[in-house]
Structure 1
């Protein structure tokens, strides 16, 4: 008995070591190496944003001057002044907030309901519908621009908020991610709620959704970023300047003055500033949601 025990111990230890997370160690040198690597990656990630901010604070003549130094002259807010004077930036920002909020709410509601139906439903054609959903992930959004625009024309929705909002609420990728998460939730919890007399909607609302807060938060963040940064579809479906979103409106102002580097960078900074502010306020929740759900590579 002792021989069997001693023979099996190394195998168990080897199996445990194989599943253990990879670490650099607990000494000062590994921590210093990890800190240095993270600092380097952070600097590389922040370099384009810092360059854009520095360029936006230069005059057009200084910004167009040759050289690698982004600060070639005195600091000025001339580029930002031209942006705000050349277009209705507050109205465009309000449109972006309204459209982004509507797209995020509708997409999350529709995607969670569709994912729950695909995960727990037993209706005929469920596998075919799931296959269509997965196949839709592979379709580039650019291929759908013409049929979507024709559909908006048929419903007389061009140059309306709904024309910008509705096509963005279809997110097969988010449905698939939510469905995979719902598959991992123990069905015993739902069965216990049904035995207590809960309906299917009450089970979804009281049992499934509270357990799915991390994935719902992560999906909401990705949908919000995509809706805020979406330029092509709002640019195509809107002609009224009062309905333009912030990226589209800033692009029209930039085109009015031609190729101007400082103003282009100022437009990028103005468009990215709201997302940066939102991330600074909710960074812990965003990072926790992405880390716990594994959506970092989605």
Structure 2
């Protein structure tokens, strides 16, 4: 009869070996804490600065509690600048970009995942190449294109470029490829058209990818600065990032007012992320694991 002998943990001079899994978890926790602090320190500094007066900031810029706290900078930023209009513009542009990107990106991803047609490999290669192309390289051609269509100064000049985002097509295409082929074939055997398969079979089960594309598109469009700065030439039609940049003057910088406006600008993004963070993680994990 053979007896299995369990191996003992290796010891060095009587000291038991360190658990590798536990050590790795602690290392990950330390790295996560450091990255969280790197992000939270500027955020806390911006909030503390926005609650102080300009005089106290000029005298003692470092101490966060010097001079006391007040909401004067927030009321000044709201009364002296059309921040409400900038909020509404950013919200309308970001919402329209989300709707069009989700619709057209999912249709393109579905076609690349299931349909077989001539030139499919070329289209897929162009989408992959678009992921490596910096957006700044497209500024001049897009400006000439939208000027020829007389769209400069309108919201459509900001919405339409985000519709053709390669990352949205890639996310949907990766998710659709993970759907069992038997499910698609069963729907086709039952007489469903490709449009019915897309709308009735695939879209209801791709909520993680849909949420990921929607949230990333909303955040990217909301934070966009260079392109709105070029195409929107009126103050009341500007978005939050462009409007906040106009508050900074070379001669006299109102630090508290600028920080208060910045806090008001990124609070919606933090709220969106906190509410939908589970959908973001689930969507990225689902599209990456087959």
TM-score, normalising length from structure 2? 0.84
Residue number among 147, 153, 166 corresponding to 2:147 in the alignment = 153
Alpha-carbon displacement from aligned partner over 1:113-132 (angstroms, at most 9, x marks no partner): 11111111211111111111
1:237 matched to 2:254? The reply is no
Larger helix proportion of the pair: 1
Structure-1 separation of matches of 2:70 and 2:213: 39
**Distance in 2 of aligned mates of 1:33 and 1:132:** 40
Which is worse superposed, 64-73 or 270-279?
A: 64-73
* C-alpha spacing 1:288/1:64, structure 2 compared with 1 (3 Å): farther
1:218 deviates by 1.1
- 3-state SS in 2 of match to 1:24: helix
What does residue 139 of structure 1 align with?
133
Give 1:5-154 correspondences, 5 Å limit: 23-24=21-22, 38-66=32-60, 68-154=62-148
Question: How many matched pairs?
Answer: 274
* Partners of 2:171 and 2:287 within 8 A in 1: no
Q: Hey, what's the Cα distance between the residues in 2 that align with 1:165 and 1:31? A: 43
Runs of 4+ in 1 over 4 A off after TM superposition: 30-41
CA contact 2:212–2:284 (8 Å) conserved in 1: yes
Which shifted more, 80-89 or 62-71? 62-71
Aligned partners of 2:90 and 2:239 also within 8 Å: yes
Deviation of residue 189 (structure 1)? Answer: 0.3
How far apart, in 2, do the equivalents of 1:196 and 1:226 lie? 41
Query: Where do 1:111-260 residues align within 5 Å?
Result: 111-255=105-249, 258-260=252-254
Q: Which runs of 5+ in 1 are unaligned?
A: 7-21
TM-score w.r.t. length of structure 1: 0.82
Q: How much does 1:201 deviate?
A: 0.6
In structure 2, the CA distance between the partners of 1:245 and 1:273, relative to structure 1 (3 Å rule), is same
Change (3 A) 1:115 1:32: closer
Gaps of 5+ in 2: 5-19
- After TM superposition, the structure 1 stretch with the greater mean CA deviation from structure 2, 54-63 or 259-268, is 259-268
